[in-house]
């Protein structure tokens, strides 16, 4: 398993930019919700039903909000959005690496809506092996449908990665069997994280489990990418926490000063 050269170059460029940037923090991976790409005008609405329509334009403000080399499109299932294939192509054309994080259940049926690109990584979620995976995700047969989607994507010339979400029930040996199974389908990369659901900042059992499973990947660069993704989930969670903190102004502060306090916060 080889780490893509172009992705390595883009990550290196992102690290150099981070080193010379005046910003206090520049995330290497920026999370985007598929809901951001919902059709908002009549032209885009018409494009949803027209497979021959031109590529959807990405608003400049959306691209300007981050210089991260990696755009991770996940959360709500991306394949539920009719124009997601054209969105991915537009982001790739803008020079961004796109990891489209999907449950994979619709991948085989929707693969024709995408076009292969060195910066596009179709990333299929796995919770375990075989029957255990089906039990964890439902409906029955989900594991088989994911494999069919991976096979169709590889035959069509796409980069395909898998994202294994680790939790307290994840078994290291079973995950190793999953990797061996996926090796037979020529998967391009394995990404392992807790998806931000666990505290891995200290020497916790979850951190040890993550490190043990990542070691099974047998590719140092994909292991490092997994750590970058984990850190990005932590960053997103912190921003969400800050956004939810109410602004409290002491009663002794005059009203005009209170406004200044709110603005500074």
pLDDT tens across 36-69, in order? 776 555 565 566 666 555 555 665 666 777 888 9
pLDDT tens across 113-136, in order? 999 999 999 999 997 665 666 656
Q: What does the radius of gyration of the chain's CA atoms come to, in whole angstroms?
A: 20
The residue among 138, 184, 140 whose CA lies nearest residue 162 is: 184
Contacts of 91 (CB under 8 A, 6+ apart): 58, 71, 98
Q: What is the pLDDT of residue 78?
A: 92
The whole-angstrom separation of Cα 175 and Cα 128 is: 6
Q: Is pLDDT of 77 > 50?
A: yes
pLDDT tens across 176-210, in order? 989 998 999 999 999 999 988 777 666 788 889 99
Query: Which residue intervals of 53-160 are DSSP H helices?
Result: 60-64, 84-93, 107-110, 130-137, 142-155
Q: What is the pLDDT of residue 139?
A: 60
* Residue 190 near residue 159, CB atoms below 8 Å: no
Q: Is pLDDT of 140 > 90?
A: no
Q: What is the pLDDT of residue 16?
A: 85
Which is higher by pLDDT, 252 or 222? 222
The whole-angstrom separation of Cα 56 and Cα 169 is: 41
The architecture CATH gives domain 5-264: Alpha-Beta Horseshoe (3.80)
User: Residues 241, 243, 244, CA angle at the centre, nearest 5°?
Assistant: 65
Q: What is the pLDDT of residue 41?
A: 54
Token readout for 159 is: 């980069």
Q: What is the pLDDT of residue 253?
A: 31
Which is higher by pLDDT, 119 or 35? 119
Q: What is the pLDDT of residue 251?
A: 37
SS3 state at 106:
coil
The residue among 84, 17, 19 whose CA lies nearest residue 48 is: 84
Mean pLDDT of 87-92: 87
The whole-angstrom separation of Cα 164 and Cα 9 is: 25
pLDDT band at residue 84 using 50, 70 and 90 as cut-offs: confident
The whole-angstrom separation of Cα 82 and Cα 105 is: 15
Whole-number average pLDDT of the chain: 79
SS3 state at 195:
coil
SS3 state at 100:
strand
The residue among 85, 86, 36 whose CA lies nearest residue 62 is: 36
Q: Residue ranges per domain, the chain?
A: 5-264
């Amino acid at each position: 398993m080889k780490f893509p050269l172009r992705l390595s170059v883009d990550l290196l460029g992102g690290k150099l930019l981070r080193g010379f940037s005046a910003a206090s923090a520049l995330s290497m991976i920026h999370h985007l919700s598929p809901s951001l790409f919902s059709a908002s005008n009549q032209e885009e609405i018409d494009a949803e039903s027209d497979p021959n329509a031109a590529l959807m334009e990405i608003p400049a403000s959306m691209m300007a909000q981050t210089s991260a080399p990696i755009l991770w499109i996940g959360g709500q299932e991306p394949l539920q959005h009719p124009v997601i294939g054209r969105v991915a192509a537009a982001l790739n054309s803008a020079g961004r690496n796109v990891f489209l994080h999907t449950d994979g259940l619709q991948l085989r049926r929707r693969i024709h809506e995408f076009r292969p690109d060195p910066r596009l990584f179709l990333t299929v979620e796995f919770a375990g092996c075989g029957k255990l995976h089906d039990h964890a995700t439902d409906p029955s047969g989900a594991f088989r449908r994911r494999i069919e989607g991976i096979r169709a994507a590889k035959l069509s010339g796409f980069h395909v990665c898998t994202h294994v979400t680790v939790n307290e029930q994840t078994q290291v040996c079973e995950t190793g069997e999953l990797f061996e199974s996926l090796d037979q389908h020529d998967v391009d990369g394995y990404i392992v994280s807790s998806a931000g659901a666990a505290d891995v900042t200290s020497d916790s059992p979850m951190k040890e489990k993550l490190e043990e499973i990542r070691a099974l990947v047998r590719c140092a660069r994909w292991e490092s990418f997994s750590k970058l993704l984990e850190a990005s989930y932590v960053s997103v969670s912190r921003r969400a926490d800050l956004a939810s903190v109410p602004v409290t102004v002491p009663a002794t502060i005059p009203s005009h000063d209170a406004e200044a306090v709110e603005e500074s916060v």
